[in-house]
């Protein structure tokens, strides 16, 4: 999984106090960059994932719904890790909200993008989960609704574009403004088939764990929200085609088949909606990243907006 060892008795003691159990080992995973994520090993051999949520306001809401959300996900047939402990306030030794879950062993999704055979498996598994996500009961979860209304999303996207206007070219600004306007038209035209539903919010290969030919874990629900159900498909499509181009077609064809996307709308209209959602998501990500990562995501937005 690409783990990096955490050294120091002080840190192990801090983690022990945080989870209220003796921690004898700790590693940083190759995922969970937005927060401080640590895989800890307890003295009795159990392994837990400790997520310290660095945005106090959003983290509080995430921690408050973590247990209920995990139960709803499993109820919909989605393998979500067991929630061991949550602390919605300022956790002792951390100062931020914390969610502790059981560690799920297996291969992270990106490791399956080395061959067409494995990429097809990954696409099929993630497409099947994508279909199930729409069935998650969201009642009482108090999920963010910024993406649930086309008009609200358009307004937020304009403000986000203004926030990074000095970092993007005039051509990109015009392309994004056009995408915002077109999204309003497309979303309203297809609203009966695109009513807001539960979405993962960061539906990336790095957020699935596979064991043999089974998906055994879907992780990192910090950006879960109500939105157009194609948002997760747009994320998967863009990430695979941009970062894993050699295997993207194999994984995407398997994904759309398993997810039933071709049956949901005429293929051409669905693909157009995917591109619009992808651009609006990149605008959001570019504005929420810290200074060290913002330029990278702005560059990705520039590239994506220029693809036509």
Same domain? For 284 and 224 the reply is yes
Nearest Cα residue to 287 out of 147, 161, 153, 143: 161
Q: Are residues 61 and 91 in the same domain?
A: yes
Residue range of the domain that includes 93: 4-102
pLDDT category at 8 given cuts 50, 70, 90 is confident
Average pLDDT, integer, range 225-236: 94
Q: Which residue has the higher pLDDT, 6 or 106?
A: 106
Q: How far is CA 144 from CA 69, 123, 220, 273, in A?
A: 13, 27, 15, 21
At 307 the pLDDT is 72
Residues 140 and 8 in one domain: no
- CA–CA distance, 132 with 128 (Å, rounded to integer): 7
Considering the domain architecture, whether residues 59 and 121 belong to the same structural domain is answered as: no
pLDDT of residue 37: 92
Longest Cα–Cα distance of the chain, Å, equals: 59
Do residue 165 and residue 287 come from a single domain? yes
Cα–Cα distance for residue pair 86/89, rounded to 1 Å: 9
Sign of the CA dihedral with 277 first, then 107, 1, and 97 last: positive
| Same domain, residue pair 237 and 97 | no
Query: 300 or 210: which carries more pLDDT confidence?
Result: 210
What average pLDDT does range 265-269 have in this prediction? 60
Task: Show the tokens assigned to 22.
Answer: 């003796």
pTM for this entry: 0.91
What pLDDT does residue 137 have?
Answer: 95
CATH number of the domain that residue 121 is part of: 3.90.1200.10
End-of-domain residue from the set 102, 123, 147: 102
Per-residue confidence at 136, pLDDT binned at 50, 70, 90?
very high
The domain total for the chain is 2
Q: How confident is the model over 47-76, as pLDDT tens digits?
A: 999 999 988 889 999 999 999 999 999 999
- Split at pLDDT 50, 70, 90, the class of 273 is confident
**Pairing of β 36-42 and β 47-52:** antiparallel
* Averaged confidence pLDDT in the chain: 90
Once rounded to an integer, what is the mean pLDDT over residues 229-252?
A: 94
SS3 content of the chain, % helix, strand, coil (to 5): 55, 15, 30
Cβ count near 91 (within 10 Å): 23
Going by C-alpha positions, the residue among 207, 190, 195 that lies closest to residue 129 is 207
CA 303 to CA 301: how far, in whole Å? 5
> What are the pLDDT digits (tens) for 67-124?
999 999 999 999 999 999 999 988 888 899 999 999 999 999 999 999 999 999 999 9
**Is the pLDDT at 268 greater than 80, yes or no?**
no
- Whose CA is closest to 104, among 73, 144, 143, 62? 73
Q: Among 52, 142, 62, which residue's Cα sits nearest to residue 100?
A: 52
Q: Any bridge partners for residue 41, and if so which?
A: 25, 47
Residue 33 pLDDT: 64
Is residue 230 within 8 Å of 131, Cβ to Cβ?
A: no
Strand partners, 50: 38, 100
């Amino acid at each position: 999984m690409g783990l990096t060892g955490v050294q120091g008795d002080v840190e192990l003691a801090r983690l022990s106090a945080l989870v209220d159990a003796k921690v004898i080992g700790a590693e940083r995973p190759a995922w969970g960059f937005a927060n401080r994520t640590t895989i800890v090993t307890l003295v009795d051999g159990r392994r837990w994932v400790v997520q310290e949520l660095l945005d106090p306001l959003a983290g509080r809401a995430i921690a408050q719904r973590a247990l209920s959300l995990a139960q709803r996900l499993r109820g919909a047939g989605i393998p979500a890790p067991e929630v061991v402990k949550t602390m919605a306030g300022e956790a002792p030794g951390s100062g931020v909200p914390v969610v502790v879950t059981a560690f799920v062993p297996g291969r992270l999704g990106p490791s399956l993008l080395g061959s067409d055979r494995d990429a097809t498996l990954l696409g099929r598994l993630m497409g099947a989960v994508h279909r199930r996500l729409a069935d998650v009961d969201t009642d009482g979860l108090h999920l963010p609704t910024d993406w649930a209304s086309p008009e609200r999303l358009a307004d937020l996207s304009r403000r986000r574009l203004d926030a990074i206007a000095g970092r993007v070219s005039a051509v990109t600004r015009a392309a994004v403004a056009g995408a915002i306007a077109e999204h309003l038209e497309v979303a309203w035209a297809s609203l009966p088939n695109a009513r807001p539903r539960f979405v993962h919010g960061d539906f990336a290969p790095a957020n699935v764990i596979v064991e043999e030919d089974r998906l055994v874990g879907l992780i990192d629900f910090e950006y879960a929200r109500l939105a157009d159900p194609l948002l997760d498909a747009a994320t998967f499509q863009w990430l695979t085609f941009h970062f894993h181009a050699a295997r993207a077609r194999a994984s995407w064809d398997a994904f759309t088949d398993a997810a039933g996307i071709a049956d949901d709308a005429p293929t051409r209209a669905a693909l157009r909606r995917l591109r619009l959602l992808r651009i609006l998501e990149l605008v959001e990500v570019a504005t929420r990243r810290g200074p060290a990562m913002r330029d990278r995501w702005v560059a990705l937005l520039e590239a994506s907006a220029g693809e036509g």
